[in-house]
Amino acid sequence: MKTRRVIIGVLVVIGIALQARLWVGDGSLAHVSALRDEVETKKSVNESRGQRNEILKAEIKNLKSGLEAIEEKARSELGMIKEGETFFMIVEEEGSSRDTNSD
């Protein structure tokens, strides 16, 4: 009878230990779920960075292949103009509006 109680006690302790391991600590259900969420987040970040890398690769290829892309970049980003061109800047007066419809 005493050995039966000891065996039952040992089995209860083992069961409690396994349950504790399942719900708390490394390898628990919560930990595994958090790791899965982190993996999904990393995958989406990697995907967006991969798309950005593809855009940059295309831009590099374009810049290496011709002067037109370099000229376009110089005009848009640096405000450069070609020799012999005339630069016009249109400045609107303060308070004036292009749309002067008054009903």
pLDDT for res 89: 78
Would you say 22 and 28 are in contact if contact means Cβ atoms under 8 Å apart? yes
Residue length, the chain? Answer: 103
pLDDT for res 98: 58
DSSP 67-79: HHHHHHHHHHHH-
Per-residue pLDDT of the chain (103 residues; tens, 9 = 90+): 788 899 999 999 998 888 877 777 777 888 889 999 999 999 999 999 999 999 999 888 877 777 777 788 888 888 888 888 887 778 888 876 655 555 4
Q: Rounded to 5 degrees, what are φ and ψ at 47? A: -65, -45
